[in-house]
Amino acid sequence: MSSSLLTQIINDYGYFGIALLLALENIFPPIPSEVILGFTGFMTLSSKLNIIGSIIAATIGALIGALVLYFFGKIISVERLERILAGRIGKILHFKPADLERAASFFNRHGNSAVFFGRFVPVVRSLISVPAGMADYPLGRFVIFSTLGALIWNTVLIFVGRMAGHAWPHVINLIESYGKISLIVLVVLFIIGYFIYKKRKR
């Protein structure tokens, strides 16, 4: 997705546009959240958008996308979904049966934490919702952990885009090409630091 199209959508629709883009990103992984969020952070420097509103809009959009796939998982069988992903629709959505197996394996191994940390892993971020729905994972818990994971992810990347300024495309390219592991580590450290702060405050 080009920056000119991102500019048009965000300028025309504001926070609704951000939420829409993040909802679509959860369903269609080829639209990278790193680019959307990095650009959103940059736009807070030169538009009426502010950081808090942008983070809230992005998180709502991410949750909507996650819920769409969660309920999709509740109404479809594994066999039928694998056939869909192996066919034309799977190619259009850029999903493969192996991606579903990866997400399902991640969910089965890590249980509750999979929904939370899955928000930080490309492709898994989208598909983790499907096995959660198939496994009848509690909806309330799904909403809580998905929201927390998306909130942290969105906050980090929007701040990165804002701090990078006009250099945001280069920073995001570095993150996409080399820094996924570093960014995940940064997110984990952010979480750990928050809990240490809360514990000391108590």
Segments making up each domain of the chain, as ranges: 3-201
Report the greatest alpha carbon distance in the chain: 55
Residue scoring higher pLDDT (194 or 7): 7
* Four-residue CA torsion sign, 91, 93, 97, 102: positive
Q: Measured between alpha carbons, how far is residue 117 from residues 38, 72, 89, 103, 191 in Å?
A: 20, 21, 27, 12, 11
pLDDT digits (tens, 9 = 90+) for 98-134: 666 666 666 766 667 777 777 777 666 777 788 888 7
CB 23 within 8 A of CB 64: yes
Radius of gyration of the chain (CA): 17
Most confident of 8-12, 94-98, 140-144, 177-181: 140-144
What is the CB neighbour count within 10 angstroms for residue 190? 13
pLDDT digits (tens, 9 = 90+) for 175-193: 655 545 555 655 566 566 6
Mean pLDDT of the chain: 76
Query: Which amino acid, 128?
Result: I
Residue with tokens 């799904």: 142
**CA neighbor of 182 nearest in space, from 160, 158, 151:** 160
Q: Average pLDDT, stretch 154-178?
A: 74
Give the pLDDT confidence score for residue 163 in this predicted structure. Answer: 82
Q: Please report, rounded to a whole number, the percentage of residues in the chain having pLDDT higher than 90.
A: 11
